[in-house]
């Protein structure tokens, strides 16, 4: 980075991404001496009461915010969402069984790759024909009533699409990768059997993955694989099968406190709708910026757009000038190109307004 800033700027990175300033300040304040223990929370054993309280608090906050029923287990795991791509098929598939996939982008492609280590996954719906620029129609008659599970990605971080409703066969477990929109809206989370999310987009720092799994589904997992890979081991050991990422869990707990202070998921969703509408409405009115995703498929988390129908030189200039104007992280994913503004929970309405002002000024001068 060549620019220097003496204060926090607006960060639109896709992940790791911006965190609430108040959370970072609290962590900073408590860093050297956590709750008068004379130590950092980073420095104490995960078997201390001090840390056990942190873990319990984070777990309870997740249960409360997601309104989880008692048969849903909350786990903090490591290895990111990509570890889940691998470990889900490992637990539930063998060469006699298969899984269904709703294929909506680069992340489902990677999930497909891992499932393919066991069987040929059935693609029950796909938007690959138009480079994932829409969400495919779901026809339940394509679904396999004998599948071990169906895999969805709730928000397609790279292509800027997001499912509002999920359709699936009753009695077939549903696995959802919610890495980029977890806790961003109210949903019936109990309708799913396995939800996972790398924390670095909406929940905290990287290095920790939130996993919510229905106990009954976890029990169906194979027991002839190494214990570390079995969900049940992590349930039995309450996320402490091995030393958990203690500081990351502590930070995630602070982020859930912040969500609660904002008024919970309902208020968070309202804010997210307001932020994304502001940006989409501006883009739709502009003659320089375009987003061709239909309204109902658009993501509230990742707003993707092109300049001048994909003028790469101009887009490069846009990203550079935006950074000079304290707007960082707007370059689109390398596989999709263009511009992407990630406006997760912690992104302020103020920052989105600043982005729109900048875009307006950029359009005026180009």
Ligand X SMILES: *Cc1c(COP(=O)(O)O)cnc(C)c1O
Which residues contribute to the site for ligand X (CB under 6 A)? 15, 80-82, 107, 153, 157, 177, 179-180, 198
* Closest approach of ligand X to the CB of residue 153, in Å: 5
Which residue in 163, 193, 201, 258 is the catalytic one? Answer: 201
Residue 107 falls in the annotated catalytic set: yes
Reported in sequence order, the residue ranges of 24-135 that DSSP labels E, i.e. its strands, are 72-77, 100-103, 122-126
* Closest approach of ligand X to the CB of residue 226, in Å: 20
* Closest approach of ligand X to the CB of residue 166, in Å: 15
Q: What residues contact 259, with CB distance under 8 A and at least 6 apart?
A: 65, 183, 265, 268, 345
> For residues 26 and 82, which CB has a smaller minimum distance to ligand X in the complex?
82
> Distance (Å, rounded) from C-alpha 237 to C-alpha 111?
27
Q: For residue 359, how far is the Cα from the chain centroid?
A: 26
CA distances from 362 to 65, 276, 320, 325 (A): 40, 20, 12, 11
* Closest approach of ligand X to the CB of residue 273, in Å: 20
> For residues 180 and 239, which CB has a smaller minimum distance to ligand X in the complex?
180
> For residues 153 and 303, which CB has a smaller minimum distance to ligand X in the complex?
153
> For residues 78 and 311, which CB has a smaller minimum distance to ligand X in the complex?
78
> For residues 15 and 253, which CB has a smaller minimum distance to ligand X in the complex?
15
* Closest approach of ligand X to the CB of residue 206, in Å: 7
Residue 177 falls in the annotated catalytic set: yes
For 100, the 3-state DSSP assignment is strand
Residue 28 falls in the annotated catalytic set: no
Q: Are 152 and 166 in contact (CB under 8 A)?
A: yes
Q: Are 14 and 304 in contact (CB under 8 A)?
A: no
Which residue in 100, 107, 275, 331 is the catalytic one? Answer: 107
Q: What residues contact 150, with CB distance under 8 A and at least 6 apart?
A: 99, 100, 101, 102, 124, 143, 168, 169, 172, 173, 174, 175
Which residue in 100, 177, 181, 297 is the catalytic one? Answer: 177
Strand partners of residue 298: 161
Residues with a catalytic annotation lie at 107, 177, 201
């Amino acid at each position: 980075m060549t620019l220097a800033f003496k204060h926090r700027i607006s960060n639109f990175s896709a992940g790791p991404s911006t965190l609430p300033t108040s959370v970072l300040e609290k962590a900073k304040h408590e860093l050297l001496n956590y709750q008068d223990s004379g130590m950092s929370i980073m420095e104490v054993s995960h078997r201390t009461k001090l840390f056990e309280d942190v873990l319990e608090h984070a777990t309870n906050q997740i249960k409360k915010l997601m309104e989880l029923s008692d048969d849903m287990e909350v786990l903090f795991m490591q290895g990111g969402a990509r570890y889940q791509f691998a470990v889900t098929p490992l637990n539930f598939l063998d060469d006699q069984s298969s899984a269904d996939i709703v294929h909506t982008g680069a992340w489902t492609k990677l999930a497909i790759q891992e499932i393919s280590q066991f069987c040929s996954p059935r693609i029950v719906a796909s938007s690959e024909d138009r480079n994932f620029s829409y969400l495919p129609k779901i026809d339940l008659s394509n679904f396999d009533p004998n599948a071990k599970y169906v895999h969805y990605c709730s928000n397609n971080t790279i292509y800027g699409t997001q499912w509002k409703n999920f359709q699936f066969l009753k009695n077939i477990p549903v696995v959802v990768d919610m890495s980029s929109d977890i806790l961003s809206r109210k949903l019936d989370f109990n309708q799913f059997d396995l939800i996972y999310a790398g924390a670095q987009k909406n929940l905290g720092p990287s290095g920790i993955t939130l996993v919510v799994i229905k106990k009954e589904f976890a029990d169906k997992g194979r027991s002839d694989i190494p214990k570390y890979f079995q969900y049940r081991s992590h349930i039995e050991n309450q996320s402490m099968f091995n030393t958990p990422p203690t500081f990351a869990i502590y930070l995630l707990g602070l982020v859930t406190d912040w969500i609660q202070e904002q008024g919970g998921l309902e208020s968070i969703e309202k804010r997210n709708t307001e932020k994304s509408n502001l940006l989409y409405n501006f883009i739709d009115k502009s003659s320089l910026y375009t987003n061709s995703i239909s309204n109902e498929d658009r993501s509230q988390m990742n707003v993707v757009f092109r300049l001048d129908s994909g003028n790469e030189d101009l887009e490069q200039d846009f990203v550079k000038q935006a950074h000079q104007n304290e707007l960082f992280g707007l370059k689109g994913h390398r596989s999709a190109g263009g511009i992407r503004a990630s406006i997760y929970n912690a992104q302020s309405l103020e920052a989105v307004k600043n982005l729109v002002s900048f875009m307006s000024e950029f359009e005026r001068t180009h």
